[in-house]
Amino acid sequence: MPKVPLNITVDKESLVKFRDLCKKLDIKISTKINTLIKEWTERNGQN
Question: Are 41 and 33 contacting, i.e. CB atoms less than 8 angstroms apart?
Answer: no
Residue 29 lies in a domain: yes
Q: How confident is the model at residue 47 (pLDDT cuts 50, 70, 90)?
A: low
**CB-side neighbour CA atoms (13 Å) of 27:** 15
Total number of domains constituting the chain: 1
Answer whether residue 21 is part of any domain. Answer: yes
Residue 38 lies in a domain: yes
Q: What is the distance between the alpha carbons of residues 39 and 16, in angstroms, rounded to a whole number?
A: 22
Q: What is the pTM of this model?
A: 0.78
Residue 26 lies in a domain: yes
Q: How far apart are the first and last CA of the chain?
A: 15
29: CB partners within 8 A, 6+ apart: 18, 19, 22
Domain holding 27, by residue range, is 12-43
How do residues 2-36 score in pLDDT, each as one tens digit?
989 999 999 999 999 999 999 999 999 999 999 99
